Amino acid sequence: MDYVQITKPQRRAMLDAIGVDEVEDLYANLADEYRLKESVTLEGLDNGLSELELIDRLDEMARENRPTGASGWSCFLGGGAYDHFIPTVVDHLAGHGAFLTAYTPYQAEASQGSLQAFFEFQTQVCRLTGLGVANASLYEGATAVAEAVVMALNTTGKRRVLVASTVHPHYRQVVHTHLSDLPVELIELPACAQTGTIEIGALATALGPGDTACVVVQSPNVHGLIEDWSELFAAAHGEDKTLAVAVFNPIACGLLKRPGDCGADIAAGEGQPLGTPMQYGGPYLGLFAARQSLMRKMPGRLVGQTTDNQGQRGYCLTLQTREQHIRGAKATSNICTNQGLLALRATIYMSTMGQSGLREAASQCYHKAHHAAQQITGIEGYSLAYAGSFFNEFVVNCPVPAARIIELGRERSIGPGLDCASLGTGTDNQLLVAVTEKRTAAQIGALAELLKDAS
């Protein structure tokens, strides 16, 4: 519901109920030196605007944005967040007041609707990944990967972690932060310069000492290339029984083999492609699934289905392993909430698209990306950086700096891709181009013309 300011009598009634005279009394424990006095002016602030002036100013600022859904704007940006089609029903249902204003269920019996939605979300993530159990969402992809690594350490008791250098650099940075104060050795697996993927020999060499908790491999990786999960995870499972962590793209699961089918023990990924727009980098949604045997080591919440004393179906928080509940210091994670609204959007999106719709979206991403790559490599001076197979994203070697192409693209209402040097995955003459089902042949042609003119 809309927020309405309380009246003075209502404020007085509340103060009387809690036994204080003035609102200022509520801040009595705050040292006087840190409290703002009414006589003190806030330096550096402009004079206030009228409502009309404020609206005009906000409109002026808004016109500087380049939203991916704007008419005439073509988005080939990727690197972890993608401009996918979102059915109208997702906004319509997720915007319902009962969902939009809800925070998160602390008392299971008080929020059956939300719990059922989360239960359905978990079921869909299990089907998407091919694994036995999924939780009720995490913050976003990077922390989901970090939680997967911590879970592997807690499960195995081992102290070495192998992370492919082809995992998104932001994800690797978050993993490093999570492990920085722990007695853990973090090792990056080098990629083959020609294929842009992890070779089995590099993994076999790194597994050497026999004290490896997990191997983390992303596919499609940060270059958009498809890694050989099956071969890499089979090697990890060898005699050392290292856990295999798959970092996955949920849309790609509609076309490629699922993490569970490739031998993954844990799967973590970014749920933004499932019905969430590219909204200034967040909030997004962490996807997390694992084998059934690892369920009690999973972070966050798991919603379960049960029956009440009248035999009616109901939903409850089956496992609550976070520290704010009864687990305290024994908690598996310090995740303090979930991305409930984003998980709901993903649930509605997957329900609307269905298995065939998701496969169609993935197929269009794949074929349109390869068509775009063919168009681009036909331009003199441009070539693909890697020889490996890719899904909907690829790295282009350019005859000019990628920053120059991006600047020219802005003038033509085209987001041609990401500067690999800025992303931390290549040189300043490399451009990461992503193509989704929303891109048309005309837009791909316009991108090719842009690159031709930029050179």
What is the reported pLDDT for 326? 56
pLDDT one-digit tens code per residue, 177-215: 999 989 999 999 999 999 999 999 999 999 977 899 999
**Domain end (from 297, 314, 349):** 349
C-alpha torsion 142→299→206→187, nearest 10: 50
Q: Could you tell me the CATH number of the domain that includes residue 401?
A: 3.90.1150.10
**Does one domain contain both 341 and 409?**
no
Residues 6+ apart with CB under 8 A from 359: 254, 255
**Does one domain contain both 112 and 245?**
yes
What is the reported pLDDT for 275? 95
Would you say residue 5 lies in a domain?
A: no
**Does one domain contain both 211 and 249?**
yes
**Does one domain contain both 321 and 372?**
no
Q: Could you tell me the CATH number of the domain that includes residue 104?
A: 3.40.640.10
What is the reported pLDDT for 167? 98
**Does one domain contain both 191 and 154?**
yes
What is the residue-level pLDDT of the chain in tens, covering all 455 positions? 455 678 889 999 999 999 999 988 888 888 988 887 766 666 667 788 899 999 999 999 988 887 776 667 899 999 999 999 999 999 999 988 877 776 655 555 557 888 888 899 999 999 999 999 999 888 899 999 999 999 999 999 999 999 999 999 999 999 999 999 899 999 999 999 999 999 999 999 999 778 999 999 999 999 999 999 999 999 999 877 899 999 999 999 999 999 999 999 999 999 999 999 998 878 899 999 999 999 988 887 888 898 888 999 988 888 765 545 555 666 667 666 668 889 999 999 999 999 999 999 999 999 999 999 999 999 999 999 999 899 999 999 999 999 999 999 999 999 999 999 999 999 999 999 999 999 999 999 999 999 999 98
* Cα gap 104→84, rounded to integer Å: 27
Pairing of strands 133-134, 212-219: unpaired
Terminal Cα distance for the chain, rounded: 54
* Cα gap 169→425, rounded to integer Å: 7
**Domain end (from 349, 379, 406):** 349
**Does one domain contain both 341 and 365?**
no
3 state DSSP class of 385:
coil
**Does one domain contain both 252 and 237?**
yes
Dihedral sign of CA atoms 204, 206, 212, 215 in order: negative
Would you say residue 9 lies in a domain?
A: no
Its domain, for residue 165, covers 89-349
Structure tokens at 403: 């920053």
Structure tokens at 111: 């929020």
**Does one domain contain both 372 and 293?**
no
Would you say residue 4 lies in a domain?
A: no
What is the reported pLDDT for 171? 98
Total structural domains in the chain? 2
**Domain end (from 320, 349, 378):** 349
Whether the link from the prior residue into 220 is cis, omega within 30° of 0, is: yes
Would you say residue 253 lies in a domain?
A: yes
Pairing of strands 74-75, 414-415: parallel
Structure tokens at 292: 């059934």
Q: Are 127 and 359 within 8 A, CB to CB?
A: no
What is the reported pLDDT for 325? 55
Would you say residue 139 lies in a domain?
A: yes
**Does one domain contain both 316 and 362?**
no
Would you say residue 125 lies in a domain?
A: yes
**Does one domain contain both 340 and 427?**
no
* pTM of the predicted protein model: 0.86
Would you say residue 189 lies in a domain?
A: yes
**Does one domain contain both 325 and 337?**
yes
Would you say residue 131 lies in a domain?
A: yes
**Does one domain contain both 212 and 318?**
yes
